[in-house]
């Protein structure tokens, strides 16, 4: 728990019980978490505050938002992001069965041959299928 406390302090965010709980939860989560799944675990807290907490975490570069196409925003800890730059351009995987989303930080992102006249600056890649857990 003091590990997440350090993160908050380093980012100049006040250490509150809610923030500690949320960050602790994400720190130990194996998959990316949605706001809904956080709400399910911390039912004493206010929905709006949770939105704002996640927003400020994201702005400070503690977590990154994942658009996995399920319509639900999900969040995961950033390996090495800060408030100036997010390094979250890794591939994500979304399970069609359980809906969980994982960061595939080891997977090499592909390069694209740009035949178009559009200027490509970032990408969002979500692989879909059946996750390790659901296969068994």
Partner DNA sequence: TCAAATTTTGCAACATAGTTGCAGAAAGGA
Partner DNA sequence: TCCTTTCTGCAACTATGTTGCAAAATTTGA
What residues line the site for a second copy (CB under 8 A)?
Answer: 67, 69, 71, 91, 93, 95-96, 102, 104, 106-108, 110-132, 135
In this chain, which of 6, 10, 40, 49 binds DNA, going by CB under 7 A? 49
User: Per DSSP, what are the bridge partners of residue 66?
Assistant: 74
- CB closer to a second copy out of 3 and 106: 106
Binding segment for DNA (CB under 7 A), chosen from 17-25, 80-88, 93-101, 117-125, is 17-25
Instruction: Residue 47: name its binding partner from DNA, a second copy, none (Cβ under 5 to 8 Å by kind).
Output: DNA
**Under rule CB under 7 A, residue 123 binds DNA:** no
The CA–CA distances, whole Å, from 111 to 86, 120, 121 equal 19, 11, 12
Pairing state between β 33-34 and 73-77: antiparallel
- CB closer to DNA out of 41 and 52: 52
Q: Is 24 helix (H, G, I), strand (E, B) or coil?
A: helix
Q: For residue 122, give both structure tokens.
A: 């970032």
- CB closer to a second copy out of 40 and 107: 107
Q: For residue 90, give both structure tokens.
A: 């890794």
- CB closer to a second copy out of 12 and 136: 136
CA 54, CA 64: separation in Å to the nearest integer? 9
CA 36, CA 89: separation in Å to the nearest integer? 24
- Least distance from a second copy to the Cβ atom of residue 60, Å: 21
Query: Quick check: 78 and 86 in contact, CB under 8 A?
Result: yes
Residues that bind DNA (CB under 7 A): 9, 13-19, 35-36, 45-49, 51-53, 55-56, 71-73
């Amino acid at each position: 728990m003091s590990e997440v406390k350090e993160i908050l302090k380093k980012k100049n965010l006040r250490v509150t019980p809610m923030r500690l709980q949320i960050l602790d939860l994400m720190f130990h989560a194996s998959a990316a978490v949605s706001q809904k799944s956080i709400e399910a675990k911390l039912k004493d807290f206010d929905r709006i505050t949770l939105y704002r907490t996640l927003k400020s975490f994201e702005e400070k570069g503690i977590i990154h938002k994942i658009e996995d196409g399920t319509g639900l925003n999900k969040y995961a800890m950033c390996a090495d992001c800060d408030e100036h730059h997010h390094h979250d351009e890794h591939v994500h995987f979304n399970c069609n069965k359980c809906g969980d989303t994982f960061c595939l930080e080891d997977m090499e992102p592909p390069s694209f041959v740009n035949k178009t006249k559009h200027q490509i600056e970032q990408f969002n890649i979500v692989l879909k299928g059946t996750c390790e857990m659901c296969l068994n």
